Chain A
Amino acid sequence: DTEVTQTPKHLVMGMTNKKSLKCEQHMGHRAMYWYKQKAKKPPELMFVYSYEKLSINESVPSRFSPECPNSSLLNLHLHALQPEDSALYLCASSLKETGGGANQPQHFGDGTRLSIL
């Protein structure tokens, strides 16, 4: 079983809906990540939170809104999404922020498969 838990596993929503994706980890990790992954492609980084503060926003459209209520939880609020936003959304965590030469492996959840009608 993965130590990073994502809910829901599947989500179908219309373009006018508002929904949220949730991610939880209890490994004491202080960095958490949202990735978007299209079929047959590698994950694309969307956001990074480090010590509950937004560290990286990879120019993601404002219809995606991240939130980190505490060190164990990460949410992604969705509003007015487009069909091209259909993808697998992966959450990950690491002891400290990876990148910049850091050596911390990221641990991923199972993802949420999102379909926009």
Chain B
Amino acid sequence: AQKVTQAQTEISVVEKEDVTLDCVYETRDTTYYLFWYKQPPSGELVFLIRRNSFDEQNEISGRYSWNFQKSTSSFNFTITASQVVDSAVYFCALSSGSARQLTFGSGTQLTVLP
């Protein structure tokens, strides 16, 4: 069975603070893919990043960065200098061979206060 855990249900920060969203996953497969999605109040899930299990390089895209560590089964997401527009629910998700569908974490509600 596979599982994604986002232990932080809600996080609130003040604008310009850095914030890290945690994601821990479980799978018995050696090949798998991890995703992050952002869901603003409008409802659409916006695809942010995909990472495969063989690539542990960290990735940076503007104010966003991702830290993938197989040793701890974690794929954490950091927003630097947060902005009010970053307020949304963020979902981590896993795709691996033993499951026919994408497995989502429970999501983290991020609120950035002005």
| Chains A and B form a bound pair | yes
Q: Which residue of A lies closest to B107 (CB)?
A: A42
Contact partner of B44 among A48, A101, A111, CB < 8 A? A111
Is A8 engaged at the interface, CB distance under 8 Å to the other chain?
A: no
Known: A109-B44, A113-B43. A45 touches B31 (CB 8 A): no
Task: Collect the chain B residues with CB atoms within 8 Å of residue A56's CB.
Answer: 100-101
Do B101 and A48 have beta carbons less than 8 Å apart?
yes
> Which residue, of A43, A45, A56, has the highest number of chain B Cβ atoms within 10 A?
A43
Is A75 engaged at the interface, CB distance under 8 Å to the other chain?
A: no
Least Cβ distance of B60 to chain A in Å? Answer: 19
Give 1 or 0 for each of B23-34: 1 = CB within 8 Å of chain A CB: 000000101110
Interchain CA distance A103-B91 in the complex, whole Å: 17
Do A101 and B43 have beta carbons less than 8 Å apart?
no
Interchain CA distance A98-B109 in the complex, whole Å: 25
> Which residue, of B37, B43, B96, B104, has the highest number of chain A Cβ atoms within 10 A?
B43
Binding site for A on B (CB under 8 A): 29, 31-33, 35, 37, 42-47, 50, 52, 91, 95-97, 99-102, 104-107, 109
Known: A90-B45, A105-B50, A107-B47. 10 other contacts (CB 8 A): A40-B107, A42-B91, A42-B104, A42-B107, A48-B101, A88-B43, A98-B102, A102-B33, A106-B47, A110-B42
